[in-house]
Amino acid sequence: MGGMGGMGGMGGMGGMPGMMPGMGMNMLGGMPSMMGGMGMPGMMPGMNMGAAGLPMAPNMGGGCGGFVGSPKGMGKGGKGGDKKKQVTRRGKKGGQDRANSPTDAADVGDDDPNRSEVLNMVRREGTTKTKVTLSAAMPYALEFSKDQFGSRFLQSKLDECSPEEREQVFSSIKSQISALAGDVYGNFVVQKYFDIGTVDQRKEMVNELCPFIVKLASETHGCRVIQKAIQHVPRESQLQIAAKLKEDVAACIESMHGNHVIQKCIEQMPPDSVTFIIAAIEADPQKMACHMYGCRVVQRLLEHCGPEQLQGMLNRISINIERLAMDMYGNYVVQHMLEHGRVEDKREIIKVVERNIVEFSKNKCSSNVVEKAVEIATVGEHAALLEAERSSLMFTVIGDPNNPNSPLKQMMDDRFGNFIVQRMIEHARGPERERLHQTLQQSATLLQRSAHGKHILNALKKEQAS
């Protein structure tokens, strides 16, 4: 996955590979949409609609969805679906938290005698047109929080009310914070308080949530609340949350919702606070690197932690590069190692690519690794230190211009390999560039007969004209 290729990752408030960590609509509130579309490894920009049309908060992973690519995307652009892509989710704060809630009182049905009259009024008149005040709704704050229209009403009023009124509403719902966090509508009110509440209110909410952290982290709505908490609470409260997640961190990593919470920990907490996550990955790095959601967590670690902190994990992953490169999720980890790993990791990966160049180039997953290797060895952070490996790789691919079965000629008309040839045209230098151009020009007649070949010729003409 090119992007998962960055996958990454696969994430949603947190993004997957191969599947990736990327792509499409999330299931039940969706995950970094994988499957094409979040919050699995990936799902959509801004706010998503969950199953049954339930509103979902923006910017958070949870549910099925795509990868938070790398890094931030997967697949190869313009390949007509030959490669899956990873999409990261993005959203805006404030009003967008309510974007999926109805703005008017359409289709709400008759008044329900079991509801308070104040809530029935809001539902009849619409949340944006009602004359009901926050003071009038205050005694029914808990009821409002659990209602589709009432939740939206509260979120809107909390944006504009006084600190004293916010404290009154908070006092009314505080004892039920954990229940609201897992509620389809109530979770938005809890998230709102993490956005706009005082430091003390945020701390109190974490205290209320703590006994249920692991359970909520693995739920569609609860995982979004926990992510929001991690993002906004002070360090001491983050450590409280981390201590609870540590009790079952492996299960969270492998959860379609929980993995986004773990990614948020890595993104928001200091590196020395996520050692419990590193330890869980090190227990079985091969399994995690090839896991639909585990691969995203590995990618986030590579992005946010130093090589010395990840030495054990990197050493164990490096011994199985060949298998990971061809895995639908593992290939994203290998690509991330090329981008964020140690120089020795990059050298080893490039050598593995060179030894398996034809097989890797014709494989949907590993062809992305080959492209990334060519790019990183030419323009990456350690490109100057990888010159020898880059040159060796290039000449191995080009082979003997007179050999009809050279790696380059096997790749030219392959649906995946042709993209690598185009990338080589872009990055070739000096003598290798001359030999590459000569070989391709000798094959121009053959290339002109195929769709893949025409793309290569166009790339060659563009490069020569630049």
DSSP code per residue over 229-293? HHHHS-HHHHHHHHHHHGGGHHHHHTSTTHHHHHHHHHHHS-GGG-HHHHHHHHTSHHHHHTSTT
| CA 154 – CA 71 distance, rounded (Å) | 36
What does the pLDDT average to over 154-165?
A: 96
- Two structure tokens written together for 285: 């790095």
What does the pLDDT average to over 96-117?
A: 63
Contact (Cβ atoms closer than 8 angstroms) between residue 347 and residue 373: no
Q: What is the pLDDT of residue 297?
A: 98
Express each pLDDT in 190-203 by its tens digit: 999 999 999 999 99
Residue 217: pLDDT band by 50, 70, 90 thresholds? very high
Q: Where are the alpha helices (DSSP H) in 320-406?
A: 321-325, 330-340, 343-355, 357-361, 366-379, 387-398
* Higher pLDDT, residue 331 or 101: 331
Instruction: Tell me: pLDDT of 408 over 90.
Output: yes
What does the pLDDT average to over 322-351?
A: 97
- Two structure tokens written together for 355: 């030894």
pLDDT over 70 percentage in the chain: 76
Residue 401: pLDDT band by 50, 70, 90 thresholds? confident
| Pairing state between β 8-9 and 68-69 | antiparallel
Residue 185: pLDDT band by 50, 70, 90 thresholds? very high
Q: What is the pLDDT of residue 358?
A: 97
| CA 224 – CA 218 distance, rounded (Å) | 10
Q: If we measure between CA atoms, which residue out of 39, 2, 88, 45 comes closest to residue 292?
A: 39
Mean pLDDT of the chain: 83
Instruction: Tell me: pLDDT of 159 over 60.
Output: yes
Instruction: Tell me: pLDDT of 71 over 70.
Output: no
SS3 365: coil
Instruction: Tell me: pLDDT of 128 over 80.
Output: yes
Q: Where are the alpha helices (DSSP H) in 197-234?
A: 199-209, 213-217, 222-232
What does the pLDDT average to over 442-461?
A: 93
| CA 293 – CA 281 distance, rounded (Å) | 12
Give the DSSP letter of residue 8. Answer: E
* Higher pLDDT, residue 389 or 70: 389
| CA 374 – CA 339 distance, rounded (Å) | 11
Q: What is the pLDDT of residue 36?
A: 35
Instruction: Tell me: pLDDT of 286 over 70.
Output: yes
Contact (Cβ atoms closer than 8 angstroms) between residue 242 and residue 230: no
What does the pLDDT average to over 438-445?
A: 92
pLDDT over 90 percentage in the chain: 73
Instruction: Tell me: pLDDT of 157 over 60.
Output: yes
* Higher pLDDT, residue 444 or 77: 444
Helix (H) / strand (E) element for 9: namely: strand 8-9
Q: What is the pLDDT of residue 402?
A: 86
What does the pLDDT average to over 159-179?
A: 97
Say which residues have a Cβ less than 8 Å from residue 278's Cβ, sequence separation at least 6. 301, 305, 309, 310, 312, 313
Q: What is the pLDDT of residue 357?
A: 97
- Range in 37-51, 279-293, 400-414 with the lowest mean pLDDT: 37-51
Residue 331: pLDDT band by 50, 70, 90 thresholds? very high
What does the pLDDT average to over 116-141?
A: 95
Q: What is the pLDDT of residue 108?
A: 53
Instruction: Tell me: pLDDT of 143 over 70.
Output: yes
Contact (Cβ atoms closer than 8 angstroms) between residue 102 and residue 148: yes
Q: What is the pLDDT of residue 111?
A: 81
Instruction: Tell me: pLDDT of 227 over 50.
Output: yes
Express each pLDDT in 30-68 by its tens digit: 333 333 333 443 343 344 444 334 444 444 565 433 343
Classify the C-alpha dihedral 412-414-417-422 as positive or negative: positive
